[in-house]
Amino acid sequence: MNKKGLAILMRTRMKPNDASKLAQSPLNNIVKQSVSNSEGNQSNGGNKNLSAYNYTDRNFENVRESMHSAISMNKTEVLDSVLNDFSEGYFSLSYEDRRKLLLMLAKECDLNRTQVHELIKQYLGLELPSRWNVQSSGLEEEGTLSAFYRMERNLRHALKPKYEDLFERLNTHPGGLKFLSSLRADILFILAEENLASLRALDSHLKEKLSTWLSPAALELHQITWDDPASLLEKIVAYEAVHPISNLIDLKRRLGVGRRCFGYLHPAIPGEPLIFIEVALQKNVAQTIQEVLWDDPPIPESEATCALFYSISSTQTGPDLSAYEILQPGLSGINLGKFLIKRVIKHVKRDMPHISTFATLSPIPGYMQWLLSKLASQSKLAEGEALSHSSAEKSGSTFFENILEPEEERGLMEASTEFVAGNNGMEVMLKLLTSTNYEWINSDELLSALKPPLMHLCARYLLQEKKRGKALDSVANFHLQNGAMIERINWMADRSEKGLRQSGGIMVNYVYRLESIEEYAHSYFNTGHIHASNDLRRYVEVQPKDEFDGQ
């Protein structure tokens, strides 16, 4: 093993393979503080504890003072020192003190609403000029316009919270952007506990600033190779959790012949991939993750016609990409992946013109959660109504819906007799899918009985289940808003424990058609229209004729 491989191996073994634990987390501070308090109570007397509290109070006051100085100070030569004191002092605080400081920042450094209210009254008191659109106006109207412009400038200034100055100064300070990400991670953690309006406003301003500073124009698309520093490769190992990297041989293979890995880097956060995507060069669109991750020799790159995106690890969570792994919690909700795939497609197409197909092999992280909830509720309704109503009355119930086709239900009831008992197919299916050891994947008979309902319900989940007019599944929403279409769902494509838990082992291929990306993205954004293949449409039992596009 070379020195680089040894360095990566040792450093990743010393760190947890969990990206959320690598980032500085408020939870760590809670634990540290609890341990510290416990040890102090056991080993120190009352005077020593009082001394410790006094030190903590002084430390908090110092950090608070440096925070206010960083906002109000104008002298450039001392500002860097003050920003250093604030950022270093902040990380020395306990969780409770960080919380107290952030609440102070949100309230004490908010905008002056009394001033805003007074300015609005003055603005409303100005008389509108008689002509707005005439190029040359009289001196009197010019004077009135000047008063409007002056008042609007004052309003803009008054509507800017004081803490915005702190954010902007930290952004230009060495290490400041990363510090702001950690700061927002703490804000989000506190908001999860207490949803305060002032703290929401603080988070909204910081998120808006981070979105601007981390725009695609400010990010560098970097192809990650084995020649990159070990410190960067170690982060790829640690952060990749869609399909975890098992060892150094696996890592080297993912960066070698027939593979590509691209990441977004920011000059203010050197060596830190904010989001990265892994690509396999293949002859055809893979139907299982085993085809991608097996140790078989790759095909010659000159024979490849397909670039398959099989893993995206992102800094964000939330509605766009919550299923993919989090690198920096403070960047949650900032869509860094929106332009990444398009830039990677452009890069690959430029280097390899013979690649004609761009597709994904993606997880369906919300499918099983949706399905199990649906099965549980409908099974309970079926059981209750069977006791009080006839079959005809039950079928007409407003809430009851047998989500299985008659032949699917018969197949499940017949195949499951040796495994589980149930009053109907939905109950049987629920028991099989919630078994802890997934014994159903070892039975050819159960696999055969489960495949039709799992596949057709998966198509329904992807195509018809919506949230605010968009795809319910977070990964589907991500690819559809980027201009992809849903091409195919694949049976037993991921037999790992995670794959079975998330989607019953089913994975999906999204395809990016170069000539249609903008059209598809536009129609999905405006109307929620989902483009899908005819093969996928056939899984959905009843639908309007042109609900989905056939491709």
Active site residue 389: no
> In this model, does residue 146 exceed pLDDT 70?
yes
Residue 330 confidence class, pLDDT cut points 50, 70, 90: confident
Output the average pLDDT for the chain: 83
Per cent of the chain over pLDDT 70 is 79
- In this prediction, residues 50-74 reach a mean pLDDT of 82
548 contacts: CB under 8 Å, gap ≥ 6: 463, 530, 531, 532, 536, 537
pLDDT one-digit tens code per residue, 203-260: 999 999 998 998 888 899 999 999 999 999 998 988 887 898 989 999 999 999 999 9
pLDDT confidence of residue 30 = 41
Q: What are phi and psi of 334, to 5 degrees?
A: -100, 115
160 CA to centre of own chain:
29
Residue 334 confidence class, pLDDT cut points 50, 70, 90: confident
* Of 86-100, 114-128, 246-260, 314-328, the least confident: 314-328
Active site residue 356: no
188 contacts: CB under 8 Å, gap ≥ 6: 203, 329, 330, 332
pTM of the entire structure?
0.77
pLDDT confidence of residue 122 = 92
pLDDT confidence of residue 481 = 93
- In this prediction, residues 502-526 reach a mean pLDDT of 96
* Of 38-52, 70-84, 100-114, 194-208, the least confident: 38-52
Residue with tokens 């409908």: 378
pLDDT confidence of residue 295 = 66
Output the CA angle 318-320-325, nearest 5 degrees. Answer: 65
- In this prediction, residues 121-134 reach a mean pLDDT of 74
pLDDT confidence of residue 116 = 94
Active-site position among 313, 362, 474, 503: 362
Structural domains of the chain in order of their starting residue, each with its CATH number: 53-110+161-214 (1.20.140.90), 217-362 (3.40.630.180), 367-385+403-539 (3.40.630.150)
pLDDT one-digit tens code per residue, 157-188: 999 999 999 999 999 999 999 899 999 999 99
Three-state secondary structure readout of 134-194? CCCCCHHHHHHHHHHHHHHHHHHHHCCCCHHHHHHHHHCCCCHHHHHHHHHHHHHHHHHHC
> In this model, does residue 447 exceed pLDDT 70?
yes
More confident residue, 506 or 436: 506
pLDDT confidence of residue 543 = 45
User: How far is Cα 496 from Cα 502, in angstroms, rounded to an integer?
Assistant: 10
Amino acid at 100: K
299 contacts: CB under 8 Å, gap ≥ 6: 258, 281, 282, 283
335 close to 346: Cβ distance less than 8 angstroms:
no
Active-site position among 322, 479, 503, 531: 479
pLDDT confidence of residue 215 = 84
Shortest CA distance to 230 belongs to which of 458, 15, 415, 86?
A: 15
pLDDT confidence of residue 22 = 38
Q: 232-250 in b/e burial notation, b at 16+ Cβ within 10 A?
A: bbbbbbbbbbbbebeebeb
